[in-house]
Structure 1
Amino acid sequence: MADTADKVTRFSAALVEEAGTEGAREHRSARQQLEHWARVGRGVSLRTSAARRRVEAALAGTLPITELTPEESVVFDAEIDAHLEERLARTDMVTDRAAQGFSSVALDELGRMVEYRPDGSTVILE
């Protein structure tokens, strides 16, 4: 018999917050909203229709995105958004840019603009 107990899964705080907001509009808890989004995403990902193959071809760069239908473009955009969010969550742009010799400007935990220099020094910008 398969184990049907709930599994612990981590989500970003931003995603949980968005799920709470959207879930409230749909009369769902944040958890129910995340599960709903997962089921919808699974259904889209599992489709092997011609439209899905066209979106996958556009994602791979073998089909110009200008050839997608409006509905296919929505799925394409959602796939790109998800990929970017995943990539940004695991990438430290300040460190990467410093390794290339570039400074970066970002907000610190207090909301101040800070310049992060390649030598490791920082300057709070007024």
Structure 2
Amino acid sequence: MDIVKNFASIPDCLISLYEKDVSCLSEVLEWHKDSLPGFTPEGFLEIIKYYLLYSLEYPESDVADYVVLHLSGINKDRRYWRDRYNLLSEDQRLSIAEFLNYMKNVDGIQMFKGEIDKNIAEWGGT
């Protein structure tokens, strides 16, 4: 599976289908559910919105689990997170905080609620 080809198809999928159904993201994101750490900061900035949209639509998916665990592990003292955090706008960071705030109550993710709560503030949430 060619990762560039896979991810290149995502914007076309949403432009044509988003209002109706985000399931068009399923094949690529489920296959690459644990790939967020592998993206460059610029790649992370471009792709995170698709992971978030899909996770909200399918909160009990493996993708949602990986996204929540990854984002709730923020540590701005580490260069990895600092580079990504600094590229995001304040609104984007607040969106991630709100995403985590919502997802912490989803069945199966509730066991990580303490860790999620601890890191929501790192994204700019309360």
Query: Which TM bucket (shorter chain)?
Result: under 0.3
- TM-score normalised by length of structure 1: 0.24
Q: Give the structure with the larger strand fraction.
A: 1
Instruction: Indicate the structure (1 or 2) with the bigger Cα radius of gyration.
Output: 1
Q: Give the structure with the larger helix fraction.
A: 2
Greater RCO, 1 or 2 (C-alpha within 8 Å, sep 6+): 2
